[in-house]
Amino acid sequence: MSEYGIHELFNSPLFGLMITLGAYYVATVIQRRCKQSPLVNPVLIAALAVALFLWIANIPYAAYFRGALFVHFLLGPATVALAIPLYNQLHQVRKAMIPILVSVVVGSLTGIVSAVGIGWLLGAQRATLLSLAPKSVTTPIAMGIAEKIGGQPSLTVMFVIATGILGAMVGHSVVKALGIKDWRAYGLAIGVASHGVGTGRAVQLNETAGAFASLAMGLAGLTAAVLIPILVNAFV
């Protein structure tokens, strides 16, 4: 293929879509070969593979994203689809609504304070601390919060992605190590701590865990949107 043809291929909207889907498919194959190990996270593998390819081929991110925009659009319907396991477990949610609300508020507050506190102890600058605060919230809400309180949305996105992937990789192992066997507790914990990526992992493991993770992710977003600006105005 000529240099002109390669240039046209890279700038085609289908290119970004093919690269994204292809990288994720290969990542899922790798995870299956590793016996579905949570440490072999397909989101992380696919993201690194795409980033490496774009860097080697010297392809601008804007050119890639024109094709990947369709996958980005599907994030909305995919998030809404998480309501299906939640609806199937609605009877359990009703019975435990008060403990759920308390757990989400306490978990969200702990995540915010611990992240900012550790960053402060390590000497992070103010903008970095404000960008860290919403790191456990799903990306659109986290970016909005960061922008409102004076953080850097682009930096927040990096923290959010890292938090989600880490939670999906080690969350279940940590819960098991603590002797927690209730899928509802695991779902709440992973939904509060690791938003959509962790919730996706919970859905794979157990329907009840997926339902409670979906609920916790939504409630954590609302909680953070209220708590973080209040905390920033009071202490920062």
Task: Give domain limits for the chain.
Answer: 3-74, 83-235
Considering only residues 149 and 84, tell me which one the structure prediction assigns the higher pLDDT.
149
pLDDT over 50 at 1, yes or no? no
**Strongest mean pLDDT among 32-46, 63-77, 79-93, 217-231:** 217-231
Contact 108/226 with Cβ under 8 angstroms?
no
Confidence label for 236 from pLDDT (cuts 50, 70 and 90) = low
Q: Which residues contact 226 (CB under 8 A, 6 or more apart)?
A: none
Confidence label for 87 from pLDDT (cuts 50, 70 and 90) = confident
**Strongest mean pLDDT among 60-64, 136-140, 191-195:** 191-195
Q: What's the mean pLDDT in 159-187?
A: 87
Among residues of the chain, what percentage have pLDDT more than 70? 88
Distance CA 43, CA 13 (A): 21
Distance CA 2, CA 134 (A): 47
Considering only residues 202 and 65, tell me which one the structure prediction assigns the higher pLDDT.
202
Of 219, 230, 223, 161, the C-alpha closest to 194 is 161
pLDDT over 70 at 7, yes or no? no
Q: What's the mean pLDDT in 1-19?
A: 61
Residue 162 has φ and ψ, to the nearest 5°, of -65, -40
Q: What's the mean pLDDT in 27-47?
A: 85
pLDDT of residue 157: 86
DSSP state letters, 72-132: HHHHHHHHHHTHHHHHHTHHHHHHTHHHHHHHHHHHHHHHHHHHHHHHHHTT--HHHHHHH
Contact 64/19 with Cβ under 8 angstroms?
yes
Q: What's the mean pLDDT in 165-190?
A: 87
Of 75, 50, 83, the C-alpha closest to 64 is 50
Confidence label for 4 from pLDDT (cuts 50, 70 and 90) = very low
Distance CA 223, CA 154 (A): 21
Confidence label for 121 from pLDDT (cuts 50, 70 and 90) = very high
Q: Which of 91-95, 179-183, 191-195 has the lowest mean pLDDT?
A: 91-95
- Other residues' Cβ atoms within 10 Å of the Cβ of residue 145: 25
Residue 180 has φ and ψ, to the nearest 5°, of -90, 120
Max Cα–Cα distance, the chain, nearest Å = 65
pLDDT of residue 5: 47
Q: Which of 52-61, 74-83, 200-209 has the lowest mean pLDDT?
A: 74-83
Distance CA 156, CA 142 (A): 7
